[in-house]
Structure 1
Amino acid sequence: MQLTHTPALLRSLGAAAVLGVVALAARRPDLVVLVAPFVVHLAWGWSMRRRGAPRVDVRPRAVVVPEGESVPLAVSVSAAWPSSLVTAQWPVRAGVALEPDAGTVVDAVVPEGVTMAVQPERWGRYDVGPGRVAVADPSGSWRASTMLPRVTVTVRPASSTLEGGSGVAHPIGIVGMHRSRHRGDGSDLADVREFRPGDRLKRINWRVTSRLGAVHVNSTLTERDTDVLIVADTLLDIVPADAGAATSLDATVRAVAAISRHYVGFGDRVAIHDLGRRIGHVRSGTGPRQARVVLNVLSRANRSVPDWDMLRPVGSLTSGMLVFFCSPLLEREAQDEIVRLRRMGAEVIGVDTLPEEIGRFDDIASFRRDTFLGEAWMIRRMERDAAVARLRSLGIPVTPWRGTGSLASVLLSMEAARSAPRRVLGR
């Protein structure tokens, strides 16, 4: 910071000089009374002069917070003068609410600094600043100002757990929390049978043994895990007419966050494949670390990337893998990709992320009357709904994303199909 004098000091100096010359030239001692306040201000200001300028620090420089929380930005100033007056100003930008609203804080120097609250409206990465800070001494004679560095605020999307079951019809791993149809070490009771050589003593059912007279043991079903692949269609970001409404990218990010957290909690291996380039890929992994990696990747998703026409298809799949296809399903390439994944042997669930109000009759009034954009979106949605009906006829469930309870019915029905009786065909 560079220390400079203020116009108030120059005015006091000029007024004292002019009045002093007039008093001497006109021999008016009464004018000395008028000169006295300016001389006092000059003496006070000169006593406040410091050789070194105050030091300024901003905390934090970079912070990661969950969605919905505010970030306090503290501008601390070294006490160059007692009771210094600090003015901190941050620019107002879209998507970030400031407290105070104008982004300007005026306060005296305190140990914890001058604080302003930053409230991002939704998930993503925001650069707040660069701001400006000015420090003035108590007499208003000296002033130092400098630019504040940018502060990076990364907001992780809300990641509530899905409602419903796991939806895993065919677990493919050997260790996990999904009940399988195979008998072995587990916690779910399959039946009670007589003791055989090699059975563990801790599995003896003493009630049945005492009642029947012969040693009986509990037979259990094994618990296994599976591979979960979340496909994110970010080729297009469909933005409703209402600027504050959620876009298709918002719905996709929140769906991916909720699905990944749900299955990481089951101990499954979760991976993310981006058909576009707004989110990026996440390798398969499990455990709390994988959940943090997914949230960090989602929080860095780039909204400013233009729409991309070239689709990056999914590579090889494991038979029986559970695939969640999060897409607005507007592009023919995305519709073909979800069918291809189903034919590769995966259990595919379509998650419709198109905003609910897009293409509805009530949405026509939000467009300009001299255009036919509202009618065009209605036709586009009708074509898309027909494509969704064809996907359902192929055995691919498609459910619109309306929160954590959106997939409950589909997951419960798929989980029930795992334990349903099967007909064995004879040769």
Structure 2
Amino acid sequence: MSTPRPGAPQPRWRLTIAQTGAIVVGFLTAAAGIVSGHPDVVVMGLPLLALAAWAWDRRPRAMAGEQATDAAAAAPVHYALTADRAAREHTLGYRVRLETAPGVEAVQLRVLELGVRPRLHVLAASPERPIDVRGRVPAPHSGPQRIVTADWRLVAAGAALLTDVSAPIGVDRTIEPAFVPITALPLPARLTGLTGSHDSSRPGDGGDFHDIDRFRPGDRLRRIDWKATARLARDPGELYVRRTRAQADATIFVIVDSADDLGESVDTWELFDPVRSGTTSLDIARSAASAIAAGYLHRGDRVALADLAVPGRVARPGAGTRHLDRVLRAIAATQPVGAARVTRRPPLVTPGAGVFLLSTFLDDHPMSAALQFAAAGHRVVAVDVLPPGRTDELTTARRIAHRLVMMDRENRMAALRRGGVDVLVWGLERGDPERDARLLALARPRNPALAAAR
């Protein structure tokens, strides 16, 4: 069982309001009897004082069989709050277990699920049978979050004594997003690696047919194309070889904008409600970033992760299974930082890398960063992760304000397209035909000149 930390303030017993009133009435009655010289009046106040003293003497002091010299053992309750490590069927189980000292008769337990769903339990207590409360919490969102918080108050001496409400304890969990790795992979304008799964413009081994050229020193004899030699040779000893494209890999930067986290319900944009908000923009961003990173890493490419709002959140370019696990953990741990803490300097990107920028594009910062990357020669895909908004709960004034904000956002998306940035809308569903068709279109070379520039 978990116990309070040594030196932490322990719960203090106090009399209830009824008992405090009884003490006041008892003292006043006894004082009135003494002043008036009537002993019978004094006797009438003594039972109230005696009952209060009896109740105070019965207050629990420590757990059974433990010495009160230990700060943890002196506590009248030992506690533990645990929750599942992973979500099952979109829910997480939790368990609150309390062991009380002799004399504690009941516990008022309050459990707060997801910060918005309080549950109050009044349970009988005994040292022989610990209190064990179990429940399940919905897990509607991915990322780090406070799953459950609990606090309690102890009752003793026939409800004459209560403790103060304990300090709350909670359990935090990081929920991994659900995703399916993408298979249509838009490639950057230039492939940088010397080996990989993509055909580059350089001649080499392993790729598709490149061209037929004269034999030069360094060419392998098995590359000689005798039919082409018989057809094209003009001088004795002239040979022609069949050349193939070299294999190369791509470097991809996945950049997540964690400045805000906006849900489907526009009414919760100002004050976040995890239950009413529906799917949020960071839910979509985590799922999209995981799908993009897993798709490229499964093909052997190099992937880096960066946060547009927090420069310290970064995973350098890498490949392999261990790097995929590292990137997925970093994506799952992404949480909103608020517009006040957003940095205005975009992250550094490796020359020639492709960039996926995931944002709601509700302000100019992500748009400016995407245009800056495109101007530097990177192929940029702006992934729109803002969920469709529900405005039925808004007032007329707030509905008009939302419409103006969305008009500004459409202007930014149009500016991205004019600046050579590809725009991809990532929907709520994992199987989105429009998104898949858009990815297939982006995976094709945009023009022969761009394909040759690799």
Counterparts of 2:322 and 2:108 in 1: how far apart (Å)?
38
* 1:180-200 Cα distance to aligned partner (Å, 9 max, x none): 3445443x5548999985549
Do the aligned partners of residues 417 and 373 (structure 1) sit closer, same or farther apart at CA in structure 2, a change above 3 Å counting? Answer: same
Aligned amino acid, residue 258 of structure 2: T
Corresponding position of 1:409 = 437
* 1:124-180 Cα distance to aligned partner (Å, 9 max, x none): 2216334449799xxxxxx99996973433233314124441111543212333343
Aligned amino acid, residue 252 of structure 1: A
* 1:333-369 Cα distance to aligned partner (Å, 9 max, x none): 32222111001111100111223227xxxx3x43224
The answer to whether residue 300 in structure 2 is matched with residue 300 in structure 1 is no
Corresponding position of 1:230 = 254
* 1:55-100 Cα distance to aligned partner (Å, 9 max, x none): 856364x76435834234363759x99xx999693522446779xx
Aligned-residue CA RMSD (Å): 4.9
Do the aligned partners of residues 378 and 116 (structure 1) sit closer, same or farther apart at CA in structure 2, a change above 3 Å counting? Answer: closer
Corresponding position of 1:285 = 318
Aligned amino acid, residue 187 of structure 2: V
Aligned amino acid, residue 444 of structure 2: A
Do the aligned partners of residues 375 and 229 (structure 1) sit closer, same or farther apart at CA in structure 2, a change above 3 Å counting? Answer: same
1:92 to 86, 89, 112: 112
Do the aligned partners of residues 336 and 149 (structure 1) sit closer, same or farther apart at CA in structure 2, a change above 3 Å counting? Answer: closer
* 1:259-312 Cα distance to aligned partner (Å, 9 max, x none): 222222223222222222499333333333333333333443344x43237543
Mapped contact 2:140–2:278 kept (Cα < 8 A) = no
Do the aligned partners of residues 230 and 133 (structure 1) sit closer, same or farther apart at CA in structure 2, a change above 3 Å counting? Answer: same
Mapped contact 1:157–1:257 kept (Cα < 8 A) = no
Counterparts of 1:333 and 1:385 in 2: how far apart (Å)?
15
1:244 to 277, 282, 288: 277
Counterparts of 2:115 and 2:150 in 1: how far apart (Å)?
16
Aligned amino acid, residue 394 of structure 2: F
Mapped contact 1:162–1:407 kept (Cα < 8 A) = no
TM-score normalised by the chain length of structure 1: 0.63
Counterparts of 1:278 and 1:117 in 2: how far apart (Å)?
36
Mapped contact 1:178–1:224 kept (Cα < 8 A) = yes
Corresponding position of 1:368 = 395
Mapped contact 2:81–2:169 kept (Cα < 8 A) = no
Do the aligned partners of residues 232 and 326 (structure 1) sit closer, same or farther apart at CA in structure 2, a change above 3 Å counting? Answer: same
Q: Percent identity?
A: 22
Corresponding position of 2:372 = 340
Corresponding position of 2:272 = none
Counterparts of 1:111 and 1:395 in 2: how far apart (Å)?
65
The aligned length equals: 352
Mapped contact 1:66–1:155 kept (Cα < 8 A) = no
Counterparts of 2:370 and 2:339 in 1: how far apart (Å)?
20
Instruction: List gaps (5 residues or longer) in structure 1.
Output: 5-48, 137-142, 201-216
Corresponding position of 1:34 = none
Q: Secondary structure at the match of 1:89?
A: strand
Mapped contact 2:114–2:137 kept (Cα < 8 A) = no
Corresponding position of 2:97 = 75
Do the aligned partners of residues 320 and 77 (structure 1) sit closer, same or farther apart at CA in structure 2, a change above 3 Å counting? Answer: same
TM-score normalised by the chain length of structure 2: 0.60
